[in-house]
Structure 1
């Protein structure tokens, strides 16, 4: 039986999640998509493909059986993602996980709740993706790597084997991370960075090889 689904918020990540949910339904009817919620009143009543913004987060109380995919955040706001998601006050079992039917995920990979894996992502054997993560299109995560909670991984990122990305990081599109690297929590890796040594927590790095821009 299809599961009701609400997506939060009505931003780029949320609208891309809708596309993946629609595509998944073409294979098997997994989701009864109710629409979006967004705290920005300017979005109320807007729609994508006929799915409307129903109102602010209080709408979630009207649909207690609905699963919620909460995918806020970008390079400017990634450090607020945890507090925004926790602010929804939802139990873990209320969250959805959406994996695009065009992604390739190893059968032994572990993917947490409220994680969205976009099209053409490859998740290899032994990989662990935490809760509340977003993995953008065409990213490759190689064997035995660990991506902790609340991480945003941009598009066309290559994470080599045995890498650990600690929580609350943002990895910019086109970044390459060498094998066995540790990326410290709350760090930002700028677009196209080539990471060949461990990254300390709470820094911004850019370049080839990646260097600390600010801490």
Structure 2
């Protein structure tokens, strides 16, 4: 019996449909009602499917991630040894169950699809970083309390001297736009001089 092509009982040709022929191929190679061994030919982790090359030399078997036995993200690594069961379909032979050697979980591929989901950055009150996790799920583990502004462990952010200094510097720079004694920003007259000038004009007109 040749496993690389479909063979039939002596004296009988195959006038049947391609699906029945695939079914016969599966049966003569132990695919229906039995478990075969093979290796992953390739697997697309983004689309979730690939092909297995049987060790007995049969045709490549289609495999979808839903039939793979493993926890979490299901996939197959290129060249990974597997055991599988299969059935005929309109497009060829497809796997109905895939596991590792001796029924163990599959190892899977080291590759993962790139996530396009955008995460909102939030502050973690454990490590103080702006990231996509909260303190309860911080990967750094429990850390001592510290200031999240300057990272010092001597005080908390409410009492941070560096933060107060930055605030005072910001307030002084914003108040410096208008001076009580000199010209305003960009050479414009100050509020005090403008108001005094208006008062002088009003007194002159009344007299």
Into which bin does the TM-score normalised by the smaller protein fall? under 0.3
Query: Which structure has more strand as a fraction of its residues?
Result: 1
- Structure with the greater alpha carbon radius of gyration: 2
> What is the TM-score normalised by the length of structure 1?
0.22
Query: Which structure has more helix as a fraction of its residues?
Result: 2
